[in-house]
Amino acid sequence: MHAHFAHPRLNPNRVETEVTEVMRIGTAFHSILLRKGSSVFEVRFDDYRKGAAQESRDAAIESGMVPLLSKNYDAVHEMCRLSLIQMKQHPDLEGFFAPGQSEAVIAWQEGSDWLRGMVDRLPDDLHYPAFDLKGTMLSASPLKWDRRLVDAYRTQDRFYNRGLRAIEGGERPPMRFVIVEMKKPHAVSVLTPAPSLQAVAAEDVDRAIQIWSGCMRSGHWPGYEYMAHVEAPGWLLRDHEEQQLRDEALENAL
């Protein structure tokens, strides 16, 4: 149900998410670093309170550009400069700077279903992995991002790997996720899924494609069509036992 609601072709009447300045900074970061996408336009004001600033912003959006206030325009270029220095020195990011495509759209067919994605950086040489660039307002520490890779992005690697294998006829190494702090000092980390995570994610992708295919054929996009039986968690059972012990101790004391 959520997939159908979010899909622009299946649900052309969906309401677009309001784009914030922080989101524009992320878009500008991708465009500058990947040298692909919309041009970044400097709105020469401190904020958008003045009508002239709003008009400059809206005109840039209308022209297909990414508008940024002067302070953010300067900050995003500095972020790109500092992150590129680190990336060029990182031993696992050699392929990022090899000949290839930025924001490469991939599309392939499985049965009657078409699947597609967009790879941030795709080297021409199949010995290199595909790369995904992510900015974060928090820490880029792998100790902070490992859980996020497991929860939010594990299927991205196997889904793209599946498509690239169908298109290219060869097997690439697992994806490299390049995490860049959007606040100073703009530290960079690199993560990739280990074999155990790849195995779980591959099964998730298989299941997702089967469900998608079934929904496309039937026209039925289910929500939560089941009843969940919620067990008492361990902490609640422990609290309950401790409360019983306190009650017994109080009775004995009386």
Determine the Cα–Cα distance for residues 59 and 99; give it in Å rounded to an integer.
35
Res 128: pLDDT: 97
Residue 124: predicted pLDDT: 97
> Which residues in the chain show pLDDT less than 50?
none
Q: Which domains does the chain have, with CATH numbers?
A: 1-89 (no CATH), 93-223 (3.90.320.10)
Q: What pLDDT is recorded for position 92?
A: 96
pLDDT tens across 16-59, in order? 778 888 889 999 999 999 999 889 999 999 999 999 999 999 99
